[in-house]
Chains A and B, each alone.
Chain A
Amino acid sequence: MSNEKPGTDVSSASEGNLLPERFDDPGLPEHKARLTDTDPRAAKRAELQVVILFGISIVGTILAVVAYAVIRPGETVESIRTSTLVLGVGLAMAMGGIGLAAVHWAKTLMNDHEKVEYRHPQASNAAERAGALAALKDGAEDSGIGRRGLLKGAVVSALALAPLGFAVPLIGGVGGDWNVSKFRHTLWAKGTRLTHDPSGRLLKASDVTIGSAVHVIPDGLRDHEEWIEEKAKAVVLVVRLDPRDLVEAEGRTDWSYEGIVAYSKICTHVGCPVALYEQQTHHLLCPCHQSTFDMADGAKVVFGPAKRPLPQLPITVDDEGYLVAQSDFLEPIGPSYWERLK
């Protein structure tokens, strides 16, 4: 038996004590009377407990109704909290009391006769199964689907095509807009002024002192018809670094202004707003998956799952000293898969 299989033998120490070939059905365990069945005092006590639980429910209902009438949520946070709390405690007592009382009642006082229902085989008997198969076969023969090839093709085609009537409008409606190329462009354009988020106040180069971080949106954003969508693409973080700390790539040396650099705030990993700027290390941390970008070195990824640097917005100043964009971002913002559209 199991002795031949390695690793399953657990009784080698007691050779003579082999397991029996087959266990006898032990039958149902003996019925044990509950304390409340034998001791009238216990039954009385259980009854009282059930009454108390129902009483708690009644008190809870009254509390909830009184709380609704008297403790109204007002102007202050405290009043809203008190109202919610008392109403909630009242309802919890009202519902919980009934539930607990019902279960306790059923378990201690209602009868506990044990009934046995035997399990029956789920499959039908052989004759019924044979009958069902014969009926199907007769039906198929009667329809002549085996002989009439054209009919077979027609019915298969019709059934296969029918779901399209629902599926095409449903799938076509997803997103509502398949013009993905618009993700390549933002509101930034040559000469667009940088403004404060959310006030829309214009931003002067002299306002951004070393160590500052300014959250920026393009000027005129709120006039745009779809300004929320546009804001989600155009948000920018502007920081000023000591120009000596700044490492600028070939061809990008004129993208900053006296140490002021502007980078897209949309993480190149999955598009969270990256904004945890540590001014001592110049690191910008994404709160979602801890991608870390070095603002002093072209927003290169120094840690985390992001695969490419944050897109840089080329900036300069206009005649009045306001910061302006030189152009739109020169690469797609956001998660890297948009880059494949190029």
Chain B
Amino acid sequence: MSRLLSITLGVLTAIGGFLDIGELVTGSLTGARFGLSLAWVVVLGVVAIMLYAEMSARIAAVTGRAVFDVVRERLGPRAGLANLTASFLVNVITLAAEIGGVALALQLASDVSYLLWVPLVAVLVWVVLWRLPYGAMEKVYGLLGLALLVFVVALVKLHPDWGGLWHQASHPRVPTGEGHPTWWYYAIALFGAAITPYEVFFFSSGAVEEGWSRKELIDARANVVVGFPLGGALTIALMAIAAVVLQPRGIQVDHLSQAGLPVAVAVGKVGVAVMLVGFFAATFGAAMEVALSSGYTIAQYFGWSWGKLMRPVQAPRFYTVCLLSLVVATGLILTTIDPVKLTEYVVVLSAVAFPLTYFPILIVANDRAYLGDAANPRWMNALATVMLVVILAASLAAIPLMIATKAGL
């Protein structure tokens, strides 16, 4: 395959792959409640994830070490275990939310309750991980995720006041009737959705397993630098259509169907069908990534064999952990806990664990004994440190704000 084609494929996969149930829920929810006043958070999140994804991929390409190898080596067994426990817990709950998201998309398409779809979805995720060639699958759902471009189409067809939207986004202000703490709470939720750690676990583990050298790193940088911002733009488009259609009518997003309402209004039934394909692909793809990430983190901490390309008998402990996390996540979503609420909670709670994951990456990216001349340049350090401060702030504010606002009421 020509290099240009493969890079394009990578970028397109990154766009669709950027969005999962976290962005779908928080994007439309904040658009409906706060207009575009939180669009800047998406921008911040995109910058942060670009930096840390690139660093973790660079570390993987140069040293052959994935994120949790680094965490264990740099933080040691005790702090590393604390990090592992938090990350694994967040991973499992995120997996439950993604499975719920897939099931909700199927419910919207079929009128059959999402609870009945959940077991089927779980089995499907397992079958893909167990048997099907992962590389091809990744491209398929990545490209199908592009169906979410229907958000952009819907936005254009709604003929919004572009100037007004731009003003809202560039002059962030808490809308009248909403409290400041709630606004900041949802800022953390949006930020959390953009930089959920499973993305870096998955990205760096894939880089190690596929044996990336500096050459693949260049292509990966293209994916990251072009794909993630476009994914962020897609999230803002979703926010915008919610702002245009739902906010004036005071409609809040409690169910995934409401997230799709603006598309129905602007593009009609065909638009909704396309959107559901996109929902399905984005959440299903994410579910696979999160399930694998649960295995990656534990296997890397303990020094087990791991790999999505390995046959299960070659990495039995790794696949057992993935299976276990899938079972627990499925059980969690079957308790009939509201999947949308669960998503809101997990993106905020995962913010608490962020610094533990991102700090070691920044440290190792600076280690010249490890990376030689591939260590961070000054400008990247400056930016990444600023981001780390933001990440730390979000992590410290998450729980207090959750309590103060009663989880965003």
Q: Is this pair of chains taken from one and the same complex?
A: no
